[in-house]
Amino acid sequence: MFKGYEEILVTVIIGVVLILCLVIIFILSIVRYKQRIARDLKEKENMMKRYEQELLQSKLETQEQTFQQIGKELHDNVGQLLSSSRMLLGLTERSMENPPDTLLSANATLGEAIGELRSLSKSLDKEWLEQFSFADNLQTEINRINSGNKVKASCTHLDKIKLKPDEQIILFRIVQEAIQNAIKHANPSALAISATQKENGVCILVTDNGSGFEMKANGNGMGLNNMKHRTALLGGTIEWEKSEDKGTTVLINIPQQTNLT
């Protein structure tokens, strides 16, 4: 009888062990299934990010190609027409003993327009873009704004930013859009731009003393969306901070290492 009890006990123990093994296998299967699901979701998320970056890069490449073509047309066609018109104005001016002030003003204005057009066509040239300098072009933008005598702009920037030329182009477009948004929507009398090189990347501040910028009212604009997309392409962040007193600050942070190729 005792032997029969032992057999029953062994059978029960074996059954319990088998059940425990099955439970453990079941739990491990669930864990592995969840891990596989999490891995698949992570891979899908990474694929979506790569797709979005490639899509944004393709859009920007298309834009730059379009810009290059526009730049050539401006330089070769419009620029030549304006230069010919100024030459004719100059001949007319020299043929008159006392040319009227309106003619002199028109000639000077046309000269300024030709200079602006050359700068614009140059900024759209691919070879020039490959040697792009954020600091130089930011200073040119500041000088252009100050020449209008409506907004006083100033900037403190680094002589050299540790970003590749194509990254500097995108960063400049972001800052340029921030400047234009401030001038267009906030009507400031002063603008200040600063660029700081940090250990982990570049920090840009665009501050104005205007009436403020409402993100709710302008959050879906093409300009703001372009700024967000370009910042995302560089793997950075962009924020708008409205001052309690007056004005708005755009804070742009771009990491040192990006996925841009």
Task: Give the 3-state secondary structure of the chain.
Answer: CHHHHHHHHHHHHHHHHHHHHHHHHHHHHHHHHHHHHHHHHHHHHHHHHHHHHHHHHHHHHHHHHHHHHHHHHHHHHHHHHHHHHHHHHHHHHHCCCCCCHHHHHHHHHHHHHHHHHHHHHHHCCHHHHHCCCHHHHHHHHHHHHHHCCCCEEEEECCCCCCCCHHHHHHHHHHHHHHHHHHHHHHCCCEEEEEEEEECCEEEEEEEECCCCCCHHHHCCCHHHHHHHHHHHHCCCEEEEEECCCCCEEEEEEEECCCCCC
Model pLDDT for residues 87-105, shown as the tens digit of each residue: 887 888 788 888 888 877 8
The whole-chain average pLDDT of the chain stands at 78
Q: Average the pLDDT over 117-142 and give the result.
A: 73
Indicate the range of 19-23, 75-79, 172-176 predicted with least confidence: 75-79
pLDDT at 60 over 70: no
Class of domain 133-261: alpha beta
CA atoms in the 13 A half-sphere facing the CB of 49: 12
- Would you state the pLDDT for residue 261? 40
Q: Average the pLDDT over 41-61 and give the result.
A: 73
Distance of CA 98 to the CA centre of its chain: 52
pLDDT at 205 over 90: yes
- Would you state the pLDDT for residue 105? 80
What amino acid occupies position 129?
A: L
Domain boundaries, the chain: 133-261
Residue 203 forms beta bridges with which residues?
196, 253
Model pLDDT for residues 33-46, shown as the tens digit of each residue: 888 888 878 887 87
pTM: 0.55
CB 138 within 8 A of CB 171: no
Determine the Cα–Cα distance for residues 64 and 249; give it in Å rounded to an integer: 28
For tokens 């992570």, the residue is: 42
